[in-house]
Structure 1
Amino acid sequence: MNNMILTVLTVFLLSACATSPTGRSQVMLMSPEQAISESRQAYVSTVSEVTREHQLITDPVWVNRISTITGRLVTEAIKMNPSSADWQWSVAIIDDPETLNAWCMAGGRMAIYSGIVTQLDLTDDEIAQIMGHEISHALANHTAEKMSRAILINTGLSVASSVTDRNGYVLSGTAVAAQLALQLPNSRTAETEADRIGVELAARAGYNPDAAATLWGKMAKAGGGQPEFLSTHPSPANRMERLQSLSNEMRALNPSLQKSSVYPVTMVTNLNQL
């Protein structure tokens, strides 16, 4: 435990000073590079479980649609953050009609659940808003921030060396943090940042920024209680107004909504691609 605490303090001193794409100061206990490395193990564990449950969608219609939309967004993400060209950009489409969710881990590893598309009858523009929002979390190093919180929780529980993943492998403290980061909500500030960056990515990629407001309108009206995807996002009364204001601002970046080129994102259809 003393070694774990020493490691946390050392990383804190080395990486405490960081700035998000919107200019916000960030204090992190884990570097973005370490978050990317540890996120891979969490991603492999999650997708492996999905595959065992036969929930990994390989239907070409689904794959082509999501790869095209996400590929255009990634093209713009790399322009915004050139270092992300070295990320392992990938998407797993999870067959779960009841789940309204999507996420992107550090390093560009993503997932989208079928339920959010089918239940809300999403357009391509609205899917672009979802994936753009999630990609923005990775670009802004929000995963590293969440993992830092998880490290503190994990250290407090004294389980850094005794937690296993679903495959039975013992996870290190940082790997546990990567697993927990999938479950911990982002801060309200992080979600506001992802809103702004996501609408910009989508507009630059050629998708209608007005879809941000229609998407969140659909999410707010979704039945069966608060959707999982929405439950970890702030929903102030003025959010729709703020999104519409962002739409007007971002449309000026690409008035004709010219589509970006499609970056070759890896669509995960089997475990060999992990």
Structure 2
Amino acid sequence: MTDGSSPARSADRRAPAEAIVRHYRRNGDWAPRITELMRAHGLDPRDPDAMAPLEQLHLGGHDATRALADWAGLAGGTVLDIGCGIGGPARTLAHAFACDVTGIDLTHGYCRDAGALSRQVGLAARTRFACASAHDLPFAAASFPWVWTQHAAMNIPDKRAMYAEIARVLQPGGRLVLHDIVAGPGREPHFPVPWASTPDASFLLPARGVHALLRAAGLRERVWEDLSKHAVQRVRDARARMRAGEPEGLGPHLLQGAEFLEMRRNLARNLEEGRVGVIRAVFEKA
């Protein structure tokens, strides 16, 4: 399937795609390092619950994924996960919510690691992964009752095309579940941040812009929630725990290198200064 893009438009998309892949590829292979870290902490690498704190590369981690699925009423069914990363949310939906999940991501290494980790924890039959662009989903129309995207739209240059593709692959009455970082009312974000080393890999819209594009794609709002204040409070609570000397638990920060500390500090600052916000929503195809 193609979106009818002109050669110039396709070239325009390739440049940011290269910056995005470069950013996510900087840490190398995740699967062997996750396995090694689990063993170093006395954890069974075949246990999906034990792996969960290490595989969720988004704000709020595993708790946010479970809360989003509960909030959206997701219980079973077939799900398309756009921007699946190394497959953490997909495995959570498969293991804890009895879903069959197809994940797509732009980064080849992430898709490879996602498949390896799913096989390792015995979830290969319920999760599958492919390298593809959200601008051009390689699926037939009306293929999925659920589409899921969690902290992925920040890296999507053409959100109009993405939401149109989501509407195309959703079945009538199907639902989109999203959890995203959006542009805030403040100035431009400080970089680097967890989703982009440089501004050329970041494509944020204000919440109202996201909402307008979703409606223009033919999707109808069921629920919408601004989580920005909640995210700021999480940042401040984490800072207070660090100042009190409380050790930080197991998480993907242990695998992302020294530069991730600056990315995380900038994300906290951006949230507190209103440069970015956080939303979650469920939309339905009429």
TM-score of the two chains, using structure 2 as the length reference: 0.31
Question: Higher relative CO (CA 8 A, sep ≥ 6), structure 1 or 2?
Answer: 1
* Structure (1/2) with the larger strand percentage: 2
TM-score of the two chains, using structure 1 as the length reference: 0.32
